[in-house]
Structure 1
Amino acid sequence: MNASRRTALFSVAASAALALSLSACQSGEGAKAEGAAAPVAKNSASAAASAPAAAATTTGTDTDTGADTGTNTGAGAATAVGTAHKSTSGSAGAKKGTTTPLCRAQDVKVSSERQDGPPYTHIILTARNTSNHRCEMAGFPHIQFLESHKQDVPSVAKSKPAVPTVLNPGDPAFVLVKLSDGGVHEDNEVVNAFQLILEGDSTVIAVDSSAGGGLAVDPAKTLTGYWTTELRNGADDF
């Protein structure tokens, strides 16, 4: 075999070996490459799977925050409304609870004096608040002048004040009371003391009227006004 033939055979053998080597490399390394790529794909899948979960977690967090915000807002509203409601009730309960009580016999001192000159047809009753609290002199005094006449003296509607007669400690309230028409032939009786009761109280108050020889009272002519903080012309003209 000559040298050129050996060279040709060597070249063919080398080419065959190179082809086999390349085939082996492609088969082994390719498999390895595919095997190495699989974890990457798995990791990508895991990342993709994690992404929705993270999104869900984030959404859940937002929802929870919104719920908390809603809860807090609700609680704040309830507190505000409750406070307002409490404040209004307290204010209403305070207004109702602090309504001025009626004056009772123990709260006032009642005295009388003649009005104008002879014939003395009217007297003025004064009720002074001797207590340490405010009270209301409601309505009119329920007066009985004579034991022989048990009926209360009638009241005069036009003398009723437009607002309640409320007395601070030491303040007076007044009432004008008619005794008679002043006629000499009237059926007058002398009254040295009489009694009255206040609106809303059953305690009898005795009033001394003996000064000046007593009061000449005609039971058929008597009238009384309402308690007021001052005597008013017109309304007390009866």
Structure 2
Amino acid sequence: MNTVLRRSAMLAVAGTALVLSLTACQGGEDDNSAPAATASATGAAADGAADATSTATGAADSAGAEDSSGSTGTTDTGGSTGSTGEQANASTPVCAAGDVKVTAATQDGPPYTHVVLTAKNTSGHACRLAGYPHVQLLESHKQDVPAVAKSKPASPVVLAAGEPAYALLKVSDGGVDEDNEPVSAFSVVLDGDSAVIAVTAPGKGGIAADPAKALVGYWTPELRNGADDF
């Protein structure tokens, strides 16, 4: 009888120990899983925040790049404006012989040593009168009259429709000289055109010219004292 009671008591004690052991194991597993889950959630949240920050930074960088490109475009517009100005100058045609009427008149009184050439734009559109008139005074002298460099204007002469330009032509030193020859008409050729313009010399008897003394100035919007005195 005592033996049976002793066995029953031992079995009860063993069962209780087993239950406690199992409970402890389950509690340990739950305790370990909770921190792991918490760490996983925290890691995911941190990764999500980093991704969001990276996305926002990328968007800001992209916007900055676009703004920078836009700014560059504005600067290029200024350049194109310069490119547009150059095209406008290039589009103005050079005056041809058919675009102007060239006439001659004596300057000052006798002795008539200088002649003023006037080229009036009769074309109905603007044109550039380049360089100086290429003048040949006599049939016996085929060389062009030399140009005077100091009379060259700072910028090309652009003639609107109906506007004139001028060039001074020295024909002699004046007085009676055996080298002087009478000239009733002479030829003028414009820069950029090969056509010959026949110009009637001023006065009833024409002018006395000495090709060795002759000089011509550049086309200018007006005759300038000093630069055109030669």
User: 2:136 matched to 1:154?
Assistant: no
- Cα 1:210–1:235, aligned 2, differ >3 Å: closer, same or farther? closer
User: 2:160 matched to 1:165?
Assistant: no
Following the alignment from structure 1 to structure 2, what is the Cα–Cα distance between the partners of residues 25 and 208? 143
The share of aligned pairs that are identical, in percent, is 46
Match of 1:95 in 2: 85
Match of 1:69 in 2: 60
Deviation at 1:120, TM superposition (A): 2.1
User: 2:182 matched to 1:204?
Assistant: no
Root mean square deviation of aligned Cα: 2.9
Match of 1:4 in 2: none
Deviation at 1:212, TM superposition (A): 1.8
SS in 1 for 2:204: helix
Any gaps of 5 or more consecutive residues in structure 1?
1-12
TM-score between the two structures when normalised by the length of structure 1: 0.76
1:32-111 counterparts in 2 under 5 A? 35=26, 38-39=29-30, 41-84=32-75, 86-99=76-89, 101=92, 102-111=94-103
**Does the CA contact (< 8 Å) of 1:129 and 1:171 recur in 2?**
yes
User: 2:217 matched to 1:225?
Assistant: yes
SS in 1 for 2:188: strand
- Cα 1:194–1:80, aligned 2, differ >3 Å: closer, same or farther? same
Deviation at 1:95, TM superposition (A): 2.8
Any gaps of 5 or more consecutive residues in structure 2?
none
- Cα 1:89–1:162, aligned 2, differ >3 Å: closer, same or farther? closer
Match of 2:132 in 1: 140
Following the alignment from structure 2 to structure 1, what is the Cα–Cα distance between the partners of residues 184 and 166? 20
1:96-135 counterparts in 2 under 5 A? 96-99=86-89, 101=92, 102-135=94-127
Moved more, 226-235 or 199-208: 199-208
**Does the CA contact (< 8 Å) of 1:179 and 1:221 recur in 2?**
yes
User: 2:177 matched to 1:193?
Assistant: no
Deviation at 1:152, TM superposition (A): 0.5
One-letter amino acid matched to 1:61: A
Following the alignment from structure 2 to structure 1, what is the Cα–Cα distance between the partners of residues 202 and 148? 26
- Cα 1:130–1:46, aligned 2, differ >3 Å: closer, same or farther? farther
Following the alignment from structure 1 to structure 2, what is the Cα–Cα distance between the partners of residues 201 and 57? 78
User: 2:222 matched to 1:234?
Assistant: no
Larger Cα-atom Rg: 1
TM-score between the two structures when normalised by the length of structure 2: 0.79
Following the alignment from structure 1 to structure 2, what is the Cα–Cα distance between the partners of residues 42 and 214? 123
One-letter amino acid matched to 2:215: L
Following the alignment from structure 2 to structure 1, what is the Cα–Cα distance between the partners of residues 46 and 74? 41
Q: Which runs of structure 1 show a deviation greater than 6 angstroms over 4 or more consecutive aligned residues?
A: 23-26
Moved more, 142-151 or 158-167: 158-167
Following the alignment from structure 2 to structure 1, what is the Cα–Cα distance between the partners of residues 72 and 39? 49
SS in 2 for 1:185: coil
